[in-house]
Amino acid sequence: MFSAGETSGDQHAAHMFQELQKQLPDIKGLGMGGAKMQQAGIDIRFDSAGIAVIGLIEVLKHYGEIRRALKLMKQLVETEKPDLLVCVDYKEFNLKLAQYAKNQGTKVLFYVSPQVWAWRSGRVGTYGKAIDMMAVIFPFETAYYEAENVPVKYVGHPSVDKIHPQKSKPDDLIEFNLQADWPIVGLLPGSRINEIKRLLPVMLAAAEKLTETHKGIQFILPQADSITDELIQSVLQNSSININVIKAQPYDVIQCCDAIMTASGTASLEIALLEIPMVIVYKLSALTYFLGKYLVHTKFIGLPNIIAGKSVIKELIQHDVSEENLAEEIAKILDDKDYKKQMLAELVVVKKKLGQGGGSKNMADLAMEMLQS
């Protein structure tokens, strides 16, 4: 049984299940997730698209739906009696589900650690009581769990394996009707509904400013599976510029870009793995941001910067998220060759730090061990 509440978790679970199927062709999977898990053959009992939110206020707004999802998932644990529950990211929800499952006698594997190195490190012990194994995706995370005697294994980051465009860049340029001689800028406003509403309008405004200074500039947007056409179009209709919206080919879109505006999250790491210069934007409700300032203890919010241990990508956070700042940073990437060269060199280092991959297979192997023990 799988529990994934967001697009990245949906992808991680799907790839893990596909690796499990190679070892156990008759294995059955069910639970909460999205399109990728469904395509992989997992029986989706609750579509997580409507509860993929971040921030205190956002969670409160969707509390009824989240509560309904948790109730259903607990019922599934009780009625389906899975041999293993795999909780993928979606921390607070999955902690509650894990605690319930453990009390029911179900083995629990937690995939993608809470960011205990950034805030609330005391959670390690709480998670330790609710799970049988914590699978972490960054090598430095194991120490936090080992210190509390919580079973932990570093499996590698799943993105390292799956970040592969389906076609060559020249073929993609033709398919997406893009001109290689003119700048191509990607807009990645996120995979959550509230991210689209909060970030896409300012990205579009920045794009309009860039059209005034950069001749022939082109814009392309890879639409996340969790985002509807209606939502995207409701925002795009307010813009005067042409945005090329592409579905189901995010890595092909990314590889075509000269620069990208991206929401913070897994997408920033995927862009780093494809070695494309970017600017990271992060904006929450005022109250959530205010509380976060006092709770979160990390210098950076962008994964490439966290992994590098220094600022290699410009981060625009909360009040700094403006059309002027976004346009200025993208223009700098496009126009300042030395600046772009330095950023690309740093992204190569980030990529090396993430290792050789094999994350999804390592997760499948770990699940097999737990199923057989």
- Return the domain boundaries, the chain: 2-158+358-372, 169-353
Q: What is the pLDDT of residue 269?
A: 93
CATH architecture of 169-353: 3-Layer(aba) Sandwich (3.40)
pLDDT of residue 182: 97
Q: What per-residue confidence (pLDDT) applies to 296?
A: 62
Label residue 61 by pLDDT band (50, 70, 90): confident
pLDDT at 265: 85
Q: Is the pLDDT of residue 322 over 60?
A: yes
Check residues 51 and 296 and name the one with the higher pLDDT.
51
Question: Quick one: average pLDDT of 207-228?
Answer: 95
Average of per-residue pLDDT values in the chain: 91
Token pair 């899975």: residue: 82
- The label of the residue with tokens 């921390």 reads 91
Q: How far is CA 264 from CA 84, 100, 305, 314, in A?
A: 31, 31, 11, 11
CATH code that applies to domain 2-158+358-372: 3.40.50.2000
d(CA 333, CA 348): 17
151 pLDDT band (50/70/90 cuts)? very high
What are the E-state strand segments in the chain? Answer: 2-4, 30-33, 43-47, 85-88, 108-111, 133-136, 152-154, 184-188, 218-223, 244-247, 259-263, 278-282, 314-317
**What are the tens digits of pLDDT across the range 236-271?**
998 999 999 999 999 999 999 999 999 998 899 999
Mean pLDDT of 170-197: 95
Exposure b/e, 176-194, CB count within 10 A at least 16 = b: bebeeeebbbbbbbbbbbb
The 10s digit of each residue's pLDDT in 98-145 is: 999 999 999 999 999 887 655 556 788 899 999 999 999 988 889 889
72, pLDDT greater than 70? yes
| CA 61 to chain CA centroid, nearest Å | 21
Residue predicted with more confidence, 294 or 54: 54
**DSSP at 127:** H
Closest CA to 237 of 204, 195, 209: 204
Asked if the model's pLDDT at residue 224 lies above 80, the reply is: yes
pLDDT: is 287 or 120 the higher one?
287
pLDDT for 214 equals: 97
Domains 2-158+358-372 and 169-353 share a fold: yes
Q: Tell me what the mean pLDDT of segment 18-44 comes to.
A: 96
